[in-house]
Structure 1
């Protein structure tokens, strides 16, 4: 149920995590009562497994070679944001203590303890959200690189800062004084955590090197993270009972550093990243649903004004830190009034740290977690919107351009004058397509004389040239050029003209992913022939039909452009008896056509039938 509700939230442009939290809140003890407080406490092991996973993922985000060349800018901006977020957040929580129900009766040192824990969590960002938005907008450029670097480094720093803050908070709550012995003890705890992280790194390498199923490796990695939490608890309790001090090895820090080691110093980094990527959705659904069930609704009702105030303080801290970091690094975008917008996002790490506080400090942890989660939800809602705006403002977004309305003529531009291109042009002309065949060599034009084809000579592959070719009104682009030239054409057509159908003859298989990310249909000659032969063997009749080898039968795609057809069921269409609808392509998905299936504007409908009957249907679909 939580997964389905999370998917629904995603469809209405809200984070999935918010949907999981909402589901848990509804199912929890304050509303439906499906999950009681006792049940939530008994599921603590799921929290710890998920927290270990989140820490692994945080460490895995930071890959040092990707940061080369921009260390100065990234360092200044990240350092400034960490300092301002921690200081502003801590001071704000301390000053608002009289208005926070669970802090109102606390002594001063306890208030300081809560304040520094909250301040540390305020530092957290969300690399996963940042990466998702960068991919969605196809953003690239110096500002985007700095933002990603800062976001990833900050998530590593925040766990280290949290470990220090938790140790100090524990001392303040137990009325311990800050002394040289206390500082030495914290240093020893950090050193032990680093040693434990190296040991865990070796364990992870052994697991990844084992020749077993990937699912088995996933389970073993999750169990190794859970074991760190168990070991940390055992050491803490044993030292408390037998020593004059507690040894607090922060398990999140151990797992984060181990993930960092795997990503930067292991040959298994790709496999480790795949395991984390594949396991993420399941872990997040379980963790955030339980987190939602643990929310104190009575506290939440009282704490919203405080959450809004902390959200505002965090934004002010980010504005200050971003501006100062940009000033010191000389980065123009960070000095502008928009640069800060890239750093508001928060998600998994912040929520994980809030849950960690709930476990380590049970006397106020649940109420504290509820307050922090309220702030994180606000950051989740507004952060991505601000991020998208500032990426667009920076000029580094490369989204699909606006597609021109259909002008009633089916146009195709073919780049690259070759014998195959001429043959393709002639075949398309026989099916009433308006064809332009583009060539960059006058000698090639003379060599492949084709007076029946409209061949145009161009000087370069610039945006100006494509505009002169009237690419705006082209329905399809086909390229026989080199891979680099083809990619240049595809990128310009995608970003400036919104061409939906682009076909490229690929020369090097290594370039497949680049074209695929643009939605380009790639034809690789070697594999295409094998695939064609396979389909002839498995389905000779269907393949012959698709290739137009059956006389009198054609297969075509038509787009629904007539508004009067929107919402009409297929069974209510008056089609010629010898025309059959094979499938409907909608929003990136292929639907198997049934009688009750309704047409939507923009649907691509695949039909088979005689050409003259298909022409009749095409006129109706075009409106």
Structure 2
């Protein structure tokens, strides 16, 4: 009750303070710092309140983002989100390094068959199953609004690809929060990291192919495959180089680790932005290199843990603030239908893998709960739809796409924490 009172006072004070002083010159210059302070304090307090009732703290960060974001109190405005976007990228870099650093090849070898089969099923069964169902389903549900079959096929491809995406941030956030350790934790983390790398690699090609249905006269060429391959290869090279730098520093210098890792995070984000590389691949590869090709993996993770909390809070608060509530209201029923379909095929893919290898019920019937949360890649897809299909039809498809990702982003931490609790890997 005390935390809730402090949280309420903080939010109300911030709202009225910003309303009265937003036009002053001093406030304009320091607005970013003020908003960042509200994010860190408010989100941390709300997460603490939700933890008391056994909800993941990540949900608290996201709810705080919705509350103070542009759609509600507007303490955190769209301009603030844009101005502080570098913090979001920095958080992604740290989350990805941590995820790569937790990926131990020795543990993958011990579960190699199961990981490979689950990975294949989650990509093939989920994508193909959704695509087969979605093409006729969207025609039934959206046929009265969208008569163009090509557009419906293009959207079905985009949605099916989006459904594959997993959020390493949610996985790392929950694992860190509940101090999870064990076979299920390792299994979910390994598949999440590997699938994220695979999805990031095939994503540009899938989007480009979908454009052939969404944009009249658009042709899929080999040159586009070459460009995507170059970006991926360059991202891996940068990751290898950064991993080597981290190893050398920890081996020969090993002072002020937190400051050094902060510089590394900035280096990855800036170079990725400058050369249009994939931050996720660069950072994950760097973490994998340090963990598996040196003895400095634990030192890397302990250094990141010292500075990760403010970045986690900022990342998930931004995720909540970026949610378009209007999008969810506009397409609620079809959104829920698509979410249920995705969960069904996710369950089916893991169930088939578990049954084939004669795994226990924890793997066969419950492991799918670790893969519900999604990455925030819908924004990029929404931009494609917006450019390709302007007007009411494009707006409707954007709303459906974003709404499904948003709801899955909220469901993900809840399902994953339940799975870890059932597996008795919390506080292990």
Q: In structure 2, what is the Cα distance between the partners aligned to 1:74 and 1:96? A: 31
Q: In structure 2, what is the Cα distance between the partners aligned to 1:272 and 1:63? A: 13
Partner deviation per Cα, 1:353-384 (whole Å, 9 max, x = no partner): 45665789875898544430212212333443
Q: In structure 1, what is the Cα distance between the partners aligned to 2:122 and 2:101? A: 21
Structure 1: segments with no counterpart, 5+ residues: 139-143, 234-248, 392-396, 400-516, 519-623
Going from structure 1 to structure 2, the CA distance change for 1:110 and 1:261 (only over 3 Å counts) comes to same
Cα displacement (A) at 1:134: 8.5
**Which of 190, 196, 199 is the matching residue for 1:158?**
196
Going from structure 1 to structure 2, the CA distance change for 1:73 and 1:168 (only over 3 Å counts) comes to closer
Q: In structure 2, what is the Cα distance between the partners aligned to 1:293 and 1:134? A: 24
Q: In structure 2, what is the Cα distance between the partners aligned to 1:357 and 1:208? A: 39
- 1:590-601 to structure 2, matched below 5 A, reads none
Matched, 1:44 2:69: no
Going from structure 1 to structure 2, the CA distance change for 1:285 and 1:124 (only over 3 Å counts) comes to closer
Task: Give yes or no for contact 1:94–1:115 (8 Å, CA) kept in 2.
Answer: no
Q: In structure 2, what is the Cα distance between the partners aligned to 1:279 and 1:306? A: 41
Residue 73 of structure 2 is matched in structure 1 by 32
Residue 114 of structure 1 is matched in structure 2 by 158
Going from structure 1 to structure 2, the CA distance change for 1:95 and 1:253 (only over 3 Å counts) comes to farther
Residue 200 of structure 1 is matched in structure 2 by 242
Task: Give yes or no for contact 1:53–1:225 (8 Å, CA) kept in 2.
Answer: no
Residue 50 of structure 2 is matched in structure 1 by 9
Going from structure 1 to structure 2, the CA distance change for 1:317 and 1:108 (only over 3 Å counts) comes to closer
Matched, 1:308 2:336: yes
Going from structure 1 to structure 2, the CA distance change for 1:133 and 1:53 (only over 3 Å counts) comes to closer
Matched, 1:70 2:108: no
CA RMSD of aligned residues (A): 3.7
SS of the counterpart of 1:32?
coil
Partner deviation per Cα, 1:574-604 (whole Å, 9 max, x = no partner): xxxxxxxxxxxxxxxxxxxxxxxxxxxxxxx
- 1:22-421 to structure 2, matched below 5 A, reads 22-89=63-130, 97=138, 107-108=151-152, 110-112=154-156, 114-121=158-165, 127-128=171-172, 131=175, 145=183, 148-170=186-208, 172-173=210-211, 175=215, 176-209=218-251, 210-233=253-276, 249-333=277-361, 339-346=364-371, 350-354=374-378, 367=399, 368-389=401-422, 391=423, 397=424
Going from structure 1 to structure 2, the CA distance change for 1:5 and 1:130 (only over 3 Å counts) comes to closer
Task: Give yes or no for contact 1:77–1:150 (8 Å, CA) kept in 2.
Answer: no
SS of the counterpart of 2:375?
helix
TM-score normalised to the size of structure 2? Answer: 0.73
Partner deviation per Cα, 1:63-107 (whole Å, 9 max, x = no partner): 011233332233223322332233345556656656689x96893
Cα displacement (A) at 1:124: 6.9
Q: In structure 2, what is the Cα distance between the partners aligned to 1:167 and 1:302? A: 30
Q: Point out which structure has higher relative CO (alpha carbons under 8 A, 6+ apart).
A: 2
Task: Give yes or no for contact 1:163–1:250 (8 Å, CA) kept in 2.
Answer: no
Task: Give yes or no for contact 1:63–1:264 (8 Å, CA) kept in 2.
Answer: yes
Cα displacement (A) at 1:261: 1.3
Alignment size in residue pairs: 369
From the CA coordinates, give the structure whose radius of gyration is larger: 1
Task: Give yes or no for contact 2:98–2:287 (8 Å, CA) kept in 1.
Answer: yes
Cα displacement (A) at 1:289: 1.0
Cα displacement (A) at 1:152: 1.8
Cα displacement (A) at 1:132: 6.3
Q: In structure 1, what is the Cα distance between the partners aligned to 2:142 and 2:308? A: 34
Structure 2: segments with no counterpart, 5+ residues: 1-41, 388-394
